[in-house]
Structure 1
Amino acid sequence: MKQIQAGVLDVTYQDIGPADGPAVVLLHGFPYDVHAYDSVAERLTNAGCRCIIPYLRGYGSTHFTDAGTLRSGEQAALGADLLALLDALKIERAVLAGYDWGGRAACVVAALWPERVIGLVSCEPGYNIQNIARATHPATPEAEHRLWYQYYLHGARGRAGLEANRESFCKLLWQQWSPTWTFSDALFSASAQSFHNPDFVDVVTHSYRHRFGLVDGDPQYAAIERRLAEQPSIAVPTVILAGADDGVTPAQDEQQALRPFTGAVHRSILEGVGHNVPQEAPAEFAEAVLSLVQV
């Protein structure tokens, strides 16, 4: 593991593979961590890629440099963190690949700073930029049921529940979101250590409140949030991976899924795969990355 100051964070990250290889940034989601990419990174580094795998804000030993910084989990903050990491590492352009929160960070940078992006791998929903203005519009009862954890975290009881039961809360989500994936206690425990970051509960709670317009964001990201509110299209070459058995984000209609992408885009639905695509289908994830990079 390495550490580098990037924006408001001291980021802990893995940097593996040849230093002169094409740069690939692999971004985990909630509630997962860098271990989601162990098998993916092995495949990519064997193919000659340099893999950067950071702990997001609130995870692992990534920490804020200033105690006064709002522990925001908003999408603009995640995108700004990724851009700051690219700058700190002096990476001009990279393939960005992620899912869940990590996919959101990758989509934000791909949409707003496309000159920094060789290509994008994003898991369902491929266009992972929130439309907060529509957050009060109800979804179908089935979709609302899948989002129980978000509504739970809107109140004090949910925040206290996450604080008291970090590992069991997150393990339940692993089970619900990837119902066809059998993972061991040891595999889960390897990632669960990262949920004991002192900022984890604050960042997670803020994320699931901000996306519904229930709390203000960090003022330093207001300009980015205004740009994201316009739902900018993504023009960089993109591969979308959708788990057919995803228990929280089922595969969308093809036309709906591809509409926000104005560049070359390919979408694959992976049978027998749930929400944690890189850990459940590492070969397919690595293949998607390699399709976007010249090694």
Structure 2
Amino acid sequence: MKSIQAGVLDIAYLETGPADGPPVILLHGFPYDIHAYDAVSDLLAASGLRCLVPFLRGYGPTRFLLAETPRSGEQAALGADLLAFMDALGIPRALLGGYDWGGRAASIVAALWPERVRGLVSCGTGYNIQDIARAGIPAEPEEEARFWYQYYFHSERGRAGLAQKRRALCHLLWKLWSPSWAFDEETFARSAAAFDNPDFVDIVIHSYRHRYGGIPGDPAYASIEARLAAQPAITVPAIVLQGADDGVDPPAPEDRDAPHFTAAYDRRILPGIGHNLPQEAPEAFALAMRELG
């Protein structure tokens, strides 16, 4: 485990592969951690790539440098953290891969700072940039039902539930979101340790309330949020991977994200795979990364 001061954080990360290899940054989602990429990073490192897998804000050993920094989980903060991580390590350009929150961070950097990105692998929602201005428009009832946990987090009961029963709640989400993945308890426990971060609850709650416009963001990221409100195109080569069995974000027959990508683009739907795609299908994820790298 390594760490580096980057922006407002001291970011903990794992690094594998040759130090002089082309850099690859792999970003986990909620409620997961860096172990989602154990097999992927081994495969990519064996191909000569330098793999960097950071804990996001609010996870594992990653910590804020100052107590007074707002514990924001908004999308702009995730993108800013990734850019600061690259700057701190002196990485001018990298291949980015991510899913869920990590896919959002990667998509934001690819959209706003394309000169820093060689290519993007995004799982689940391909164009993973929130359109907060339209967040109040109801979805189909089946989709709304899958988002029950988000509405739960809008209440103080939900905050208390996450704080007091975080492992049980996150274990349930793993099962619901990846119904065909037979993970064992040791696998879950290895990742669940990351949820004991003292900022985990505050950041998760802020994330799910902010994305619906329910609470303000950190003013430090207002200019980034303003740019994201325009729903900028992603102009770097991209591959979108979607699990056919994803229990929270199942792929639609029509690829509604494709118009947001203006460079080489491909969408692949993987049968028998759920939401935690890198951990469930590491070979397919690593293949997509190598194709772009």
Q: TM-score range by the shorter chain?
A: over 0.9
Q: Which runs of 5+ in 1 are unaligned?
A: none
Distance 2:286 2:111 in 1: 22
TM-score, length-normalised on structure 1? Answer: 0.99
- Structure 1, residues 217-238: CA drift from partner, whole Å, max 9, x if none? 0000000000000000001000
Residue of structure 2 in register with 1:212 after alignment: 212
| Runs of 4+ with >6 A deviation | none
- Structure 1, residues 77-128: CA drift from partner, whole Å, max 9, x if none? 0000000000000001000000000000000000000000000000121000
Query: What is the one-letter code of the residue matched to 2:188?
Result: F
Distance 1:283 1:48 in 2: 16
Distance 2:272 2:60 in 1: 29
Residue of structure 1 in register with 2:271 after alignment: 271
Query: What is the one-letter code of the residue matched to 1:191?
Result: S
Residue of structure 2 in register with 1:259 after alignment: 259
Query: What is the one-letter code of the residue matched to 2:237?
Result: P
Residue of structure 1 in register with 2:199 after alignment: 199
User: In the TM superposition, what is the alpha-carbon distance from 1:257 to its structure 2 partner?
Assistant: 2.4
Residue of structure 2 in register with 1:39 after alignment: 39
User: In the TM superposition, what is the alpha-carbon distance from 1:252 to its structure 2 partner?
Assistant: 2.5
Residue of structure 1 in register with 2:51 after alignment: 51
- Structure 1, residues 173-203: CA drift from partner, whole Å, max 9, x if none? 0000000000000000000000000000000
The answer to whether the 8 A contact 1:10-1:63 is kept is yes
Matches within 5 A, 1:75-86: 75-86=75-86
User: In the TM superposition, what is the alpha-carbon distance from 1:260 to its structure 2 partner?
Assistant: 0.5
The answer to whether the 8 A contact 1:125-1:252 is kept is no
Residue of structure 2 in register with 1:250 after alignment: 250
Distance 1:80 1:253 in 2: 33
| Paired residues, number | 293
Distance 1:4 1:256 in 2: 38
Residue of structure 1 in register with 2:94 after alignment: 94
Identity of aligned residues (%): 63
Distance 1:189 1:259 in 2: 39
Q: Which runs of 5+ in 2 are unaligned?
A: none
Query: What is the one-letter code of the residue matched to 1:210?
Result: H
Distance 1:108 1:138 in 2: 24
Residue of structure 2 in register with 1:4 after alignment: 4
Residue of structure 2 in register with 1:104 after alignment: 104
